[in-house]
């Protein structure tokens, strides 16, 4: 038979597929139907939206990381480089980096460790507060930030996989979500 026995185990599956695609139905929509069927209708849209958000993040991150991989940086480190590049002095305290990116202090330590190993940034003690560490962009760091931005713009940001109208609507909705969460 042309259908692998595994795939027919739960009904509805008619063909094997690579892990990145090829299902003949939308698992999230199927889950949403289950929610309605079990009288969790009040939560169905929220469940589907949040689950979709998780998956959309995974898709977007994979694209971004794939574009950046040849340059030897990750998106987390790229964000730090951009923050420094856009700062007036090319340097920021660890704490400010964490606040702007909304990540845990240890995540900043992690990213800066690796950027420092790659000679893209340097660490120095803050002149006005000896507890604080100033992170400064090196020329190599700025050069990489520029190249990475050019790559990301061309390969991802200019073609995010949605029509312009959707991109704009998505941005507005997510901005409201972030504001409601206290992001700014």
Partner DNA sequence: GCCAAATAATAGGACGTCCGACTAATGGAC
Partner DNA sequence: GTCCATTAGTCGGACGTCCTATTATTTGGC
Judged by CB under 8 A, the chain residues 74 through 113 that form the site for its own copies are: 75, 82, 86-89, 91-93, 95-96, 98-105
d(CA 116, CA 120): 6
Token look-up 């480190």 returns: 77
Helix, coil or strand: residue 182: coil
> Which of its own copies, DNA, none interacts with 70 (beta carbon under 5 to 8 A by kind)?
none
- Residues 75-94 close enough to bind DNA by CB under 7 A: 76-77, 93-94
Window 23 to 52, contacts with DNA (CB under 7 A): none
d(CA 115, CA 119): 6
Q: Are 90 and 84 in contact (CB under 8 A)?
A: yes
How many residues bind its own copies (CB under 8 A)? The answer is: 96
CB of residue 125 to its own copies, shortest distance in Å: 12
Alpha helices (runs of H) in the chain, residue ranges in sequence order = 27-37, 41-68, 75-86, 94-101, 105-117, 139-152, 164-180
Q: Which entry of DNA, its own copies, none binds 74, CB below 5 to 8 A by partner kind?
A: DNA
- Decide if residue 71 touches its own copies (CB under 8 A): no
- List the one residue out of 99, 101, 103 whose CA is nearest residue 132: 99
State the residues that interact with DNA by CB under 7 A: 2, 4-6, 16, 58, 62, 74, 76-77, 93-95, 98, 102-114, 123, 126, 129-133
């Amino acid at each position: 038979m042309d259908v692998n026995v595994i795939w027919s185990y739960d009904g509805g599956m008619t063909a094997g597929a690579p892990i990145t695609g090829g299902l003949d139905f939308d698992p999230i929509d199927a889950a949403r139907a289950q929610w309605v069927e079990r009288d969790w209708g009040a939560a169905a849209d929220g469940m589907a939206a949040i689950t979709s958000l998780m998956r959309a993040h995974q898709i977007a991150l994979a694209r971004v990381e794939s574009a950046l991989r040849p340059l030897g940086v990750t998106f987390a480190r790229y964000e730090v480089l951009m923050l420094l590049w856009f700062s007036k002095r090319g340097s920021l305290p660890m704490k400010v980096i964490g606040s702007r990116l909304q990540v845990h202090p240890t995540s900043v330590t992690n990213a800066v460790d690796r950027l420092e190993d790659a000679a893209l940034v340097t660490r120095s003690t803050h002149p006005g507060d000896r507890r604080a560490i100033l992170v400064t962009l090196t020329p190599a760091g700025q050069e990489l930030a520029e190249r990475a931005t050019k790559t990301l713009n061309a390969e991802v940001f200019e073609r995010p996989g949605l029509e312009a109208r959707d991109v704009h609507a998505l941005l507005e909705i997510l901005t409201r979500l972030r504001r409601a969460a206290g992001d700014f």
